[in-house]
């Protein structure tokens, strides 16, 4: 059985040490919200699968090789020989502020379609326990959006739990456009993850959390950045502060948070324990460079319990 199924675009990622226009060196890796979550879960010992499309090019080979090396199942992913793998550029511009530029228009990842997700819900095999979707995939175009719609429908029919991370990207679409796409999915969503400002994408209510719970969402987890996170459900409200770590790179922190949250859910943990693991994996992300490179394995989850500058012997 697959523990987690997710779908989206993963791109080749270039990280420069200064402004791109000045030239210089760049590190090359991969980046994608959904695949970061899949990697995070795989490192914690879960069976994670990613559905996506890459080009028949070297960046695509980098994406696929990286995900395979991290233990992510690519059974339902494919290569499109007629479109390039998308690119993302990270510039370290001022202090710890990064500037991000996308080159993903017409990319292979934007050609994700409904037929790509159907085999993952083959009735001859157990369905995935969790389906994780994000607003990013929905923003890539009509076909990727329909792929998400199909995945949610199939997951609901199969009895899988559905997690929606709003993950709003202003460069991809407006709040109104995101709301028009995501709100119709809510009746089939069990778990919503959003930052404080992203709740407005899902509802216009004065009390957005109460409105989402009344609409049938089982749990709403709100990320407060450096102030931690809060879980809201019929069982009550639980808050956990963020872990205190040196901040190196905030890119990927939200996805790392989700990976910890869903890992603990798969382990059957209660809401406080789920948030504890979520803020811990989020802290690993901000204390290291890269979207996913610093994510912990299960044995490393307690590393942050040691004092700053400590040595584990």
Domains of the chain: 4-8+33-75+114-299 (3.40.1190.20)
Query: Residue 95: what pLDDT?
Result: 66
**Whether the Cβ atoms of residue 144 and residue 138 lie closer than 8 Å to each other:** yes
Per-residue pLDDT of the chain (313 residues; tens, 9 = 90+): 899 999 999 999 999 888 888 887 899 999 999 999 999 999 999 999 999 999 999 999 999 999 999 999 999 999 999 999 999 999 877 766 778 899 999 999 999 999 999 999 999 999 999 999 999 999 999 999 999 999 999 999 999 999 999 999 998 999 999 999 999 999 999 999 999 999 999 999 999 999 999 999 999 999 999 999 999 999 999 999 999 998 888 888 999 999 999 999 999 999 999 999 999 999 999 998 888 999 999 999 999 987 776 677 6
On the CB side of 265, how many CA atoms lie within 13 Å of its CA?
A: 25
Query: Residue 92: what pLDDT?
Result: 78
Query: Residue 251: what pLDDT?
Result: 86
The CA distances from residue 310 to 100, 205, 293, 298, 303, in Å, are: 34, 47, 21, 19, 9
Active site residue 122: no
Q: Closest Cα partner for 30 from 15, 47, 41, 50?
A: 15
Query: Residue 210: what pLDDT?
Result: 97
Q: Closest Cα partner for 37 from 112, 143, 117, 131?
A: 131
| Active-site pick, 80, 165, 190, 255 | 255
Query: Residue 96: what pLDDT?
Result: 67
pTM: 0.95
């Amino acid at each position: 059985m697959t523990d987690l199924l997710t779908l989206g675009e993963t791109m080749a990622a270039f990280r420069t040490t200064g402004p791109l226009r000045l030239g210089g060196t760049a590190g090359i890796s991969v980046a994608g919200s959904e695949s970061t979550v899949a990697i995070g879960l795989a490192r914690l010992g879960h069976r994670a699968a990613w559905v996506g499309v890459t080009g028949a090019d070297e960046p695509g080979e980098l994406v696929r090789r990286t995900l395979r090396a991290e233990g992510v199942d690519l059974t339902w992913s494919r290569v499109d020989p007629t479109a390039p793998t998308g690119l993302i550029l990270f510039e370290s511009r001022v202090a710890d502020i990064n500037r991000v530029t996308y080159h993903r228009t017409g990319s292979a990842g934007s050609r994700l379609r409904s037929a790509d997700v159907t085999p993952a819900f083959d009735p001859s095999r157990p369905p995935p326990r969790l389906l994780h979707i994000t607003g990013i995939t929905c923003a890539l175009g009509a076909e990727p959006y329909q792929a998400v719609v199909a995945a949610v429908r199939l997951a609901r029919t199969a009895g899988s739990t559905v997690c929606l991370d709003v993950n709003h990207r202003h460069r991809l679409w407006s709040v109104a456009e995101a709301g028009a796409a995501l709100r119709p999915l809510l009746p089939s969503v069990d778990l919503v993850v959003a930052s404080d400002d992203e709740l407005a994408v899902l509802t216009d209510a004065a009390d957005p959390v109460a409105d989402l719970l009344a609409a049938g969402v089982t749990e709403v987890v709100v990320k407060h950045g450096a102030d931690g996170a809060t879980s809201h459900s019929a069982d009550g409200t639980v808050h956990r502060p963020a872990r205190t770590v040196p901040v190196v790179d905030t890119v990927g922190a939200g996805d790392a948070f989700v990976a910890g949250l869903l890992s603990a859910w798969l382990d059957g943990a209660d809401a406080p324990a789920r948030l504890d693991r979520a803020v811990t994996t989020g802290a690993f992300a901000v204390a290291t460079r890269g979207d996913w490179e610093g994510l912990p394995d299960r044995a490393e989850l307690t590393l942050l319990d040691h004092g700053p500058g400590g040595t584990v012997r």
